[in-house]
Amino acid sequence: MSKLLIVGTVAFDQIETPFGKTDRILGGAATFIGLSASNFSIDAGIVSVVGGDFPLDYIKLLNDRNIDTTGVEIVPDGKTFFWSGKYHNDMNSRDTLITELNTLADFNPIVPEKYKDAPIVMLGNLHPSVQSAVLDQMTETPKLVVLDTMNFWMDVALEELKEVIKRIDVITINDEEARQLSGEYSLVNAAKKIHEMGPEYVVIKKGEHGALLVHDGKMFYAPALPLAEVYDPTGAGDTFAGGFSGYLAKTEDISFENMKNAVIYGSNLASFCVEKFGTERMLSLTKEEVTNRLHEFKILTQFEIELT
């Protein structure tokens, strides 16, 4: 079975949107990536850290979706990473209210032996030094390394982030963050600048406006499925990354053409994530729903114009 190594936060989130406010619920970049990638029947393993306050039921919930958590360290007297955010009325922008690193502050990741030769590595959002430390432990050079990050790390660990970006193949980043990282407003110019920092492929996520894949002067754009109701966008970016990397792990084809499909799979899965709070929708997702929505995606983007 194809292996996918996932790194990222496993967290408690507290979310406020115009539809309501949650208590501390299950969240974290690696959680959303794992749940999304689990739709591809691959061997996905997470490297992360949580505290003794993290319910074992949450770990079981990941295991029940065939996500391997042997690389998730539990620090008995530590506290789990906590993030709290509040969305504006348009749901496209949000304010981070609290980021408590807790056990993540001095986390030394240990990659389980079994995943040291994973062909696809998904470096989800967390400290760039941890992302680097994971790459250092790979015994086989991965076929593809995908990295996701956010403005928080650009603010507090820019040099470490630039170092790890030199070592990766694909970066997935949202539009605002692409502008911050590159200093360019135009997303085409931003992608060009980020490409010069290391990655061959740049994927810019534009929330409800879809995702743009840029490589070697070529571009591919996938819209987001227009949805009547968006309850909570938290984790949509990570769900996209999980769908993107999960599909590539499943197919082991890292050509530009296949990456276009990966962008579609990522967008498709992310469209479910936003329909309920936190991980709720991803936990109830069925294969049939995924396939049906892929059909909708196809219809949405297909047209026939005869070019002379």
Nearer to ligand AMP, 102 or 182 (CB): 102
At a CB cut-off of 8 Å and minimum separation 6, what does 221 contact? Answer: 210, 211, 212, 213
Strand order in the sheet with 218-222: 67-75, 43-51, 3-7, 120-123, 144-148, 170-174, 201-205, 211-215, 218-222
Residue 306 C-beta: closest distance to ligand AMP, Å: 40
Binding stretches for ligand AMP (CB under 6 A): 9, 11, 13, 27-29, 83, 99, 125-126, 150, 152, 234-238
Task: Kindly state the smallest distance separating residue 75's Cβ from ligand AMP, in Å.
Answer: 17
Minimum CB–partner distance for residue 11 and ligand AMP (Å): 4
Between residues 42 and 274, which has the closer beta carbon with respect to ligand AMP? 274
- Name the residue with tokens 């406010």: 21
| Distances 128 to 8, 67, 124, 220, 234 between C-alpha atoms, Å | 10, 23, 10, 27, 21
Structure tokens at 267: 């967008």
Looking from the CA of 173 toward its CB, the CA atoms found within 13 Å total: 28
**Smallest distance from ligand AMP to CB 204, Å:** 14
Closest to ligand AMP by CB, 142 or 266: 266
* Smallest separation, CB 140 to ligand AMP (Å): 26
CB of 216 to ligand AMP, least distance (A): 27
Strand partners, 268: none
Whether the Cβ atoms of residue 209 and residue 187 lie closer than 8 Å to each other: no
Residue ranges in the chain assigned as alpha helix (H): 29-37, 56-64, 128-136, 151-156, 158-165, 175-182, 187-197, 236-251, 256-273, 280-284, 287-301
Please tell me the distance from the alpha carbon of residue 174 to that of residue 81, in angstroms, as a whole number.
22
When the beta carbons of 182 and 234 are compared against ligand AMP, the nearer one is 234
Which residue, 28 or 246, has its beta carbon nearer to ligand AMP? 28
Cβ nearer to ligand AMP, comparing 9 with 268: 9
